[in-house]
Amino acid sequence: MLNYKSFNTDLVTMAEDSNRQKATLLSNYQPLYQVVDGSSARHCNNCHSCLQLQNVYVHPSETMPLLGNRVRPCNDRFLDKMIFVSCVLLLFFGSATAGYLLFSETRDVIMEEFDYVSRDNWLGNDSISESWQSLRTPVSKILLYELTTNCTDPVDPGHCLFYTEYTENSKPKMKIMNDELRFNFYEDKNGKIFEGRGVKFQSECGRPEGCQDILTIAMLGNGDQAPSDQQVAKLNAFLDYAVTDNALLPCYEILVSHQLTRAFDDVAEKLTTLNRGNGVCKYYFS
């Protein structure tokens, strides 16, 4: 028959022995890490979970405040750079747009100061010769060429030009004889500019060094009369337009080819004064 009292005594004894053994085992381990949760503390032994706690709770708490106080976040610095670059681009494009609008307005005003007839309007599309050589623009020289239209007693027949101006289909026309469109432009006695070879092709300027850097303008007259002030004013406006159109350099040089009088020398001096009145070439910004 089972003795319950003896059995209970044995269970109590075994439990006490087990607790003493656990206490002995635990006393052999020293706490590796202590986690403080505010009011209580508990010890971790040498285990993997305790090492994880050490990495998670201790190291960030010691390093992050130092990092946060000394290093500025990258996002703020990148944003500052983007704002600076945007302001610079806005200023640049704003200045460029304002300059372009002012430049366009200037060109429009200049075009209203002279009368211009394109080559296609007074000669047709088939007036270009395959033998014409290309002109290098912007050119640096202007050659004013005197063409006499009073051919009763010309000094040089090569300088005498027969021409007739008329209107066809409400368009101004000019018919030239004894001339194979040798010059870049022609100006009649009223100051009207007719396109000859234009700014794309070289003229026949008669210079041994060639005509690749020169723009010729034939001024039509009687030979015994100086060009009128109206001719000079409209020619000056046309040269201003050629500068804004990048066909002519701002500080261009004016040459003269004439036979009878020094009237064309006076024209060249007037044009030079108009271009460099204050000692600085017009439209020269560099």
Question: How many whole angstroms separate alpha carbon 125 and alpha carbon 76?
Answer: 63
Same domain, 170 and 61: no
Which of 112, 134, 158 is where one domain is finished? Answer: 112
- Residue 167 placed within a domain: yes
Question: How many whole angstroms separate alpha carbon 159 and alpha carbon 196?
Answer: 17
User: When comparing pLDDT for 223 and 80, which is higher?
Assistant: 80
Question: How many whole angstroms separate alpha carbon 183 and alpha carbon 227?
Answer: 18
Q: How many domains does the chain have?
A: 2
Same domain, 87 and 150: no
pTM, full prediction: 0.58
- Residue 28 placed within a domain: no
Same domain, 155 and 59: no
Same domain, 208 and 132: yes
147, 148, 194 from 162: Cα distances, Å: 9, 8, 15
Which of 85, 112, 139 is where one domain is finished? Answer: 112
- Residue 212 placed within a domain: yes
Mean pLDDT of 103-124: 69
Partners of 133 in beta bridges: none
- How would you classify residue 18: left for phi > 0, otherwise alpha for psi between -120 and 50, otherwise beta? alpha
Which of 112, 142, 160 is where one domain is finished? Answer: 112
Tokens of 143: 């050659």
- 271: containing domain: 116-275
Same domain, 142 and 190: yes
- Residue 29 placed within a domain: no
Same domain, 194 and 253: yes
State yes or no: cis peptide before 138, omega within 30 of 0: yes
**Band (138; pLDDT cuts 50, 70, 90):** very high
Same domain, 89 and 162: no
Handedness of CA 117, 121, 127, 128 (dihedral sign): positive
The crossing angle, in degrees rounded to 10, of helices 263-275 and 229-244 is 50
Same domain, 87 and 194: no
Handedness of CA 226, 249, 240, 193 (dihedral sign): positive
Give per-residue pLDDT as tens, 43-69. 545 555 555 545 544 444 444 454 445
Same domain, 136 and 161: yes
Listed range (11-15, 91-95, 112-116, 234-238) with the worst mean pLDDT: 11-15
Under DSSP, the state recorded for 247 is S
CATH number at residue 203: 3.40.80.10
